[in-house]
Amino acid sequence: MIEPSLLYEMDPEVREQLRGSRPVLIHLLEGYVDAGQTGRGLSRHLRRQAEHQTLVTFDHDVLHDYRSRRPVITFDTNTWKSASALSLEISHATDSLGQDYLLLHGPEPDTQWDRMVAALNGLVEELDVSAVVTAYGAPVAVPHTRPTLITAHSTDPERFTDNPRLIDRVDVPASFSAYWELALGGQDRLAMGFAALVPHYLAQATFHQAVVAVLERINAATGLALPMGDLPDRVAANLTEINTEMNSSAEVLEVVSSLETQYDAMQLRPEEYLPSADELGAEFERFLADQAKDDE
């Protein structure tokens, strides 16, 4: 393996500010399944709420597959004007109480995962990171009219034992974040993640309620005081928009009502497996597909 530390450069002045602080490192990478734009929304929110200083810059050019995920480039009249910038970095900020934390953000690496994991593990050790945390959205057959459920996971299995029964054992294609968390567990490092269970019919939309749900769980699990800012207002406006759109269709309301019944039953009898979830999800997906065809 090529020396992992060659993948990045670190700002020594920002590094010095962190000495002795044992920060939490939050990683919110783009490019994998993220229903409701939960992880992306949280990343944007955190960067709006506090000034972030770049601590580590990764050599993204060797980690990105440009033909798989092409940058957007703008042509104007008779010349190429600009191209979207791609960057992968760890930034430093403080929460509402002045506590330091780190944020790894940017596109998920396409290549050299083991080398990137080694680089990050070296940084976790050098920066004396106290915990590594992630958050994202998973599409599930649940209604938007109920509180957002969270499936939590950790390298310490005893830390979270109250997950909803909608998700048990499952094989899925790996994200880099999951791959890294697995590696951290092999080194007895504390890592955890929070998957917001987002209504599958909102998987491609923005669902601010999920962002609030994961932010609250991160604060509770780490002791951070990440600010809510304007998120409550965004949630209210988002739900109003969703309800307005769905109230225009009796068929949609019927499916949402079925999901509400299922959700409420699960809360009353969490020990029972609910086999109708896939059926309800398939029904709604067929409905949305039919709607899309009608709009063409």
Rounded CA-CA distance 190/133 in Å is 9
62: nearest Cα among 11, 6, 104, 10? 6
- What single string gives the DSSP state of each residue in 107-149? EPPSS-HHHHHHHHHHHHHHTT-SEEEEEEEEEES--TTSPPP
Cβ(78)–Cβ(176) below 8 Å: no
Q: What are the pLDDT digits (tens) for 130-178?
A: 999 999 999 988 999 999 999 999 999 889 887 876 666 778 889 999 9
Mean model confidence pLDDT for the chain: 89
- What single string gives the DSSP state of each residue in 208-260? HHHHHHHHHHHHHHH------TTHHHHHHHHHHHHHHHHTT-HHHHHHHHHHH
Query: Side-chain half-sphere of 212: how many Cα atoms within 13 Å?
Result: 15
Query: What pLDDT does residue 278 have?
Result: 54
Rounded CA-CA distance 291/120 in Å is 45
Architecture of the 4-229 domain: 3-Layer(aba) Sandwich (3.40)
pTM of the model: 0.87
Polymer length in residues for the chain: 296
Q: Where are the domains of the chain?
A: 4-229, 238-295
